[in-house]
Chains A and B, each alone.
Chain A
């Protein structure tokens, strides 16, 4: 079969249209940012694909933040991202990412966008394609802090005593499989060593203002109250580069243009969400393999 399935094309079109109409209605600007970058954000465990002397973007995050600094208010982008070596039933090295940022918001405010967006996409897709959605976003969303869910289900506290290997293994072996099918769950307040680009909680610096959305046990989206402090941002980048170097991963130059914008012009307070578009389609249709929702699966 070298031809894409018509159902998949219709599903993708309808979901993309629903996403765009959702953001247009809320006066978000649709933006586009470079796909080829000289300096992708250094994140541990995320490997950028080289493209000539540059790299394919692993996320549009840093350029979208520069747009906020330039005066854009609320912005979104739906486009391809690339992460080397990621291939499995929930992963492709090239995938579609929806990313949006809201000014003067934090991670709890932007959670409302997330809930409204999921409902809107499900309503649109089910009314236009006749698909009966595999989960119901009007079921109450389960909201857990990382500390509580690990204490309850894995028997230890990753916030007071972080162990990166145990954290990841327990996440895939214990926590994710325990999330109820058919429901949306939010895991929030991640230990600060896995804050990534999230700001730390003002009243508890051991945790970062970050949440992840799950549909059943399938991870769909990641959100932050964005880190705006230029000094802490540079320190985290340098630390991530150092850790990547120690693990034998490729390292790239720091995005000095982004850091200069943070230092000189300042990033306004904002929150952002990155949502895997293909994963969202997996959740809607209830399929176990990402290949089932891709026009060209391999």
Chain B
């Protein structure tokens, strides 16, 4: 995307005021989106983002400057402006930019341009129609499809020259059901590092009918009771609790600043012995996978927790300096407008031994949070809050009534310690994670698990 000699000049300029490390990130991202509703193509959008960010370190302090005026003169000027923020003694830094050999995984089979926008929209309308035809109670079905091609270049004063292209796509369907004055909405999605083969090998009719029946069943859901109860959390997107309440606290960004409850706890028991968890950016075609991170380090599979014992953090280059640790390939950013930091990729709790049926049957009274909604956490305190998207009461080991409006609150440490059953049905689900380096695609995952004694906030 940029000439190697120009990049070398930019890095040299960046180091001219005594910085001890400099890098340039160039991102070129094309996004196309389609939205259908009410049997019409409501929106078709395109966006093209192209720009560069220059980062310079002086020990653990740093400067970040970015621009999208990409001519030689302005790029060198940006490097100069950035360098002005460093006031240190000149270092002898020599580098020779060499291609980083990458195993280019996640190659797509059917390029996005192999079908017209119209053909894609027609498929979306067809899937929506399955939902609308499922029941007269379904009054609206909306579909959204997004495809992203992200080309990146990362070059730094360690001599790394890493170029990569990642393509990803995702499809959403939502249905609104109405009966008298009651209106409820449900949705589901699938995505990954795929071209148009994203839609292949799936039963799209069954997918749409499930979304429709989900919206209908909510019409008769009762208000969720409040209080402390045992909560069985479903597989797949249920892993969002682990992502928020534990994952963020294992990012070096929080650990290095002593702003995480997990700081200083390597080798210690932080969770129930039933819990083993990974962050793995190398899973084939998974939504959160990448070949190389946004500071030029190859990605890897990291064991975070083994049988409840904390094994490792997710470490980026800058926070690694603060912690005296090597970066382990997890530094990410949304685009060139963000300086990168340690982030998750595909983060999940590994399979245990119980079957999901056993877990329900062993729960006398509690809540089955089959599908989680979104939530947030304060890494400093570990306190989280989550909405439950689809929930049922468990009475005498059986799933009984559907309930709505449930919220789970508590602290990450509390939950990790109180996991007392782990299922054998691990699955992954797509999400977008927002933090200081922007919004990035991440995968959450887990088998069905049971957590004792969570505070449930309902409307009753």
- On whether the two chains bind one another, the answer is no
Show the binding face of A for B, using Cβ within 8 Å. Answer: none
Residues of chain B at the chain A interface (Cβ within 8 Å): none
